[in-house]
Amino acid sequence: MAIPLTAYLIVAAVLFAIGVYAVMAQRSAVMILMGIEVLLNAVGLNIVAFWRYVGPGDYSAQIFLIIIVTVGAVEMGIGLAIMMLLYRNRQSVQVDMFKDLNG
Amino acid sequence: MTLSAWAQWSAFIIFAIISIAGALGMATTMSMFRSGIFLMGSFFGVAGLFILLLADLLALLQVMMYIGGMLVMILFMVMFSHDPGGSMMAGMKMSPIENFFSLGIPPEEMEEMEEMEEMDMSGMSMTTPVKMHAAVIGLITGIGLVALLLLRPVWPVVSTLPAPDSARKVGTLLMSKYMMAFEGAGLLILIGIFGAVLMARAGRFAEKPGRDARVAHEDPPAPIDRKPLAPDHPPVGEVPEMEVPEAHGD
């Protein structure tokens, strides 16, 4: 326990900020999905750090992270299927080519 | 067995730098393939932090799910993208951090530079035109979160070590208390597979471009124009050369 909890949380906060930047600034849908993965990673690091320092006896935190990873995998698969469909229709995966999908 | 404080700090700093630099490189490099590799570095860094936090099962899960599964999917989809190697963007004007992470990408030789200048270069870039706003928002998010963390009074930290066999605990909990969440995740994966297959296959609207059904069509195949066969026996007087395999003595 030499490292304080705040150090881990700061790493997670920096990762989260980078993920926010990547989701908003990137043009390609693949890069946006990568940014979402970084966001999920930051959340997972937060969860594990709190589990270790605040409640190491309760393993619910690890199960929470497992569920998050599962949902992230499903989201990635569906997102890539949508991208594949968009690519076959318009030969592009850049999200600002699809402004007409804006409701 | 616990490591000494010095070893813990050095491991923490190494893994934190790996994860943050990987994420930063992912967000700023011009090459999408390189982005995927940077993202893999970031995942490894976070897995190292998990091990440092004594969550070994989750570190294994991180490596197997993210790096083994999702990153392969991402690198597969990168191949569909426009200019995955980033050589078209490498010659453009970049900020210093983008320059650093795209170091060594050879810029593509363009013959008509004058014509390219007149074109709208904003459609070629890797990032959207609101990149500066996004950078400001990301910076504000980071600074705000770190400031909140530093201003926050301390959490009630307990100093007990977790049990050494976390996999057994997690498995027992997953099969007893969180049974419904487990089953729900399984159902979600099943529906996700159905949805992905349903979206990617050629469906009812097969006449739409891009959704052509791959069916066997009824047209007879084109006739094969075949030359008449050569006569069976060569004309008399011409002995066909035959390759006699060289006999190898023992």
**How far B27 CA lies from chain A's nearest CA (Å)?**
5
- The winner for highest mean pLDDT among A69-83, B71-85, B225-239 is A69-83
Q: Give me the domain span that covers residue B170.
A: 165-195
Higher pLDDT, A85 or B102: A85
Residue of A nearest to B126 (CA): A27
Which of A14, A46, A78, A95 should one mutate to test binding to chain B, selecting the residue with the greatest count of B CBs within 10 A?
A14
Q: Of B87-101, B158-172, B221-235, which range is least confident?
A: B87-101
| Least confident interval from A56-60, B42-46, B153-157, B233-237 | B233-237
Cα separations in angstroms, A92 against B21, B81, B84, B85: 29, 7, 12, 16
Cα separation, B177 vs B209, whole angstroms: 49
Residue B152, in any domain of the structure: no
Inter-residue contact B67 to B40 (CB < 8 Å)? yes
Q: Note whether B102 and B179 are same-domain residues.
A: no
Model confidence at B17: pLDDT above 60: yes
- Domain assignment present for residue B184? The answer is yes
State how far the Cα of B8 lies from the Cα of B15, in Å rounded to an integer: 11
Structural Rg of chain A based on CA atoms: 17
CA angle, residues B80, B47, A84, in degrees to nearest 5: 15
Most confident range, picked from B9-18, B106-115, B208-217:
B9-18
Q: Report the domain count for chain B.
A: 2
Radius of gyration of chain B (CA): 30
By Cβ distance, the residue of A15, A54, A96 closest to B157 is A54
Neighbours of A33 (CB within 10 A): 22
* β-bridge partners, A28: A94
- Look at residue B48 and tell me if it is in a domain: yes
Query: pLDDT of B83-107, one tens digit each?
Result: 666 666 666 666 777 777 777 676 6
- Kindly state whether residue B100 falls inside one of the protein's structural domains: yes
Residue B127 lies in a domain: no
End of a domain among B156, B178, B195? Answer: B195
ipTM: 0.90
Q: What is the pLDDT of residue B107?
A: 66
- Residue contact B5–A2, C-beta within 8 A: yes
> Which pLDDT score is estimated for B240?
56
pLDDT tens digits, A24-74: 888 888 888 889 999 999 999 999 999 988 888 888 889 999 999 999 889
Mean pLDDT score, B40-57: 91
pLDDT digits (tens, 9 = 90+) for B106-151: 666 554 444 444 444 445 566 667 778 888 888 888 888 888 888 8
Q: What is the pLDDT of residue B203?
A: 59
Instruction: Indicate if B183 and B81 belong to the same structural domain.
Output: no
Per the prediction, chain B carries an average pLDDT of: 77
Position with higher pLDDT, A13 vs A96: A13
- pLDDT at B33 (0 to 100): 85
In a domain, B227, yes or no: no
Residue ranges of domains in chain A, CATH in brackets: 5-94 (1.10.287.3510)
Give dist(CA B237, CA B250) in Å, integer: 37
Are B22 and B98 within one domain?
A: yes
Contact yes or no for A96 and B128 at CB 8 A: yes
- Regarding whether B186 and B84 lie in a shared domain, the answer is no
Give percent above pLDDT 70 in chain B. 69
DSSP at A52:
H
First to last CA, chain B: 67
- Res. B50 pLDDT band, cuts 50 70 90: very high
Q: Is residue B246 one of the residues assigned to a domain?
A: no
Q: Which of A15, A81, A82, A73 is nearest to B71 (CA)?
A: A73
pLDDT of res. B116: 46
Reported as a single tens digit per residue, the pLDDT across B25-39 is 888 887 888 888 899
Dump the DSSP string for A1-62: --S-HHHHHHHHHHHHHHHHHHHHHB-BHHHHHHHHHHHHHHHHHHHHHHHHHT-TT-THHH
**Which residue, B85, B108, B131, sits at the end of a domain?**
B108
DSSP state of A7: H
**Cα–Cα distance measured from residue B72 to residue B79, given in angstroms and rounded to the nearest whole number:** 11
Res B213 pLDDT > 60:
no
Coil, strand or helix at A94: strand
Among A residues 33-92, those touching chain B with beta carbons less than 8 Å apart: 33-35, 37-38, 41, 44-45, 48-57, 59-60, 62-63, 65-67, 69-74, 76-78, 80-85, 87-90, 92
Rounded CA-CA distance A3/A92 in Å is 46
pLDDT (0 to 100) of residue B135 = 84
Which of A13, A45, A78 shows the shortest C-beta gap to B145? A13
Residue B193 tokens, joined:
């597979």
pLDDT of residue B44: 92
Q: Is B117 exposed, middle or buried (0-12, 13-18, 19+ CB in 10 A)?
A: exposed
Domain assignment present for B15: yes
